[in-house]
Amino acid sequence: MEEKENKSQRFMELQKLPYETKIVYAASKACEFYDKLNGKVFCSVGGLDSITLLLFLRKYVDPEIPGVSVSSLEDKSIQRVHREMDNLVILRPYKSKVQVLREHGYPIISKDIAGKIQLIQNPTEKNSTVRHAIMTGQTGEQGGYKKSPYMEMPQKWKELFCGHENEKYGTDYRIAPFKVSPDCCYHMKEKPCDDYARDSGRYVYMGLMASEGGRREKALIAHGCNYYGKTVIRSCPFAIFTRTDLLQLALDLEVPVPKIYGRIEKQPDGTLETTRAKRTGCTMCGFGIHLEKRPHRFDRLRQDNPKSWHFWMYRMGWGEVLDYIGVPWESKYVGYKQVALPLIV
């Protein structure tokens, strides 16, 4: 416990370092990882954070480090930047997104909640203890009869998804008319990347930052920038960065910023921010969508690619899913700046 607190304290101190010192620290961690693995490394590349990481690694560690990307999952403007990059290995997802949605279910809310909903939607004798913990927070005999706030599903989501358990708990929750699953990333990204790593004998650099919060923050604080575990070996040199550090580095390295992010601009409080998307995942991902203000990622897709938007919302059921979790999407977002057309007189 004390060790955990010390680690977290030390990590927070590193997060407070000035930008220039963080760059030196990140470069030293990246070099340490490279040396330890005899240069058998690669950089996992997706959006702006990891594009920046690849250019950073090529500048400070080794100009030959390969990038690896499941590029087809990203926004078109990101794919365009990928195509311009040297030595970028393009992997294909093992299943199409349509297949993943149909066979496994929709990735919504967060990986953690989606995993819990998946268990509730697929009850078995084997998962009954976990389902009980999801419903009540009580961990049962196996978990030492504790109350775990992490295990219990937030009430809001119980009401929408936990109707399968009504009889047992005397509740009046709803049953969603669609499947939910956290497995999308595994089939689309993780497995192809893991297989690449295994087949090539290389180890991964990732552009994750603890300041993004959630599970990532906990894992980065627990394991630090470089982690050499039994089953996982990885380096996250930007672990201690804030978003402003990352964007400052992108400016310093003259990283090509994909159109979906807009421009990098200084905010009134001195931080840096992108003028359009803040974070991107795949174009059609529901993780975190309930927390986004409009124009959210589905609005942006509507503006950039109305045909694709129509397909996903109406034909692939995303509209129904968003309605169900209370995310507005059908009313057109009207706050985009219109380009003034010259008057013809």
Binding residue (CB under 6 A) for ligand SF4 from 189, 202, 300, 302: 189
* Minimum CB–partner distance for residue 12 and ligand SF4 (Å): 28
Kindly state the tokens that stand for 312.
């996903």
Q: State which residue, 132 or 297, has the beta carbon closest to ligand SF4.
A: 297
Q: State which residue, 95 or 132, has the beta carbon closest to ligand SF4.
A: 95
273-282 burial: b if 16+ Cβ within 10 Å, else e: bbebbeebbb
Which of 117, 129, 78, 98 minimizes the C-alpha distance to 311?
Answer: 98
CA 334 from centroid of its chain's CA atoms: 27
Q: State which residue, 107 or 237, has the beta carbon closest to ligand SF4.
A: 107
* Minimum CB–partner distance for residue 312 and ligand SF4 (Å): 11
Judged by CB under 6 A, the stretch of 35-43, 81-89, 243-251, 284-292 that binds ligand SF4 is 284-292
Binding residue (CB under 6 A) for ligand SF4 from 237, 281, 295, 319: 281
Q: How many CB atoms lie within 10 A of CB 41?
A: 24
**CA-to-CA distance for 20 and 13, rounded, in angstroms?**
15
**CA-to-CA distance for 286 and 281, rounded, in angstroms?**
9
Judged by CB under 6 A, the stretch of 208-216, 235-243, 277-285, 337-345 that binds ligand SF4 is 277-285
| Residue 184 in the binding site for ligand SF4 (CB under 6 A) | yes
Q: How far is CA 109 from CA 48, 96, 117, 134, 181, in A?
A: 23, 21, 10, 16, 10
| Residue 48 in the binding site for ligand SF4 (CB under 6 A) | no
| Residue 23 in the binding site for ligand SF4 (CB under 6 A) | no
Q: State which residue, 74 or 165, has the beta carbon closest to ligand SF4.
A: 74
Q: How many C-alpha atoms does 165 have within 13 Å on its Cβ side?
A: 25
Rule CB under 6 A: which of 107-166 touch ligand SF4? Answer: 107
Q: How far is CA 234 from CA 26, 157, 229, 280, in A?
A: 14, 33, 9, 22
| Residue 287 in the binding site for ligand SF4 (CB under 6 A) | yes
Query: If you ran DSSP here, which 8-state letter would residue 181 be given?
Result: -
| Residue 285 in the binding site for ligand SF4 (CB under 6 A) | yes
Binding residue (CB under 6 A) for ligand SF4 from 45, 160, 220, 282: 282
Write out the residues near ligand SF4 by the rule CB under 6 A: 73, 107, 184-185, 188-189, 281-282, 284-285, 287
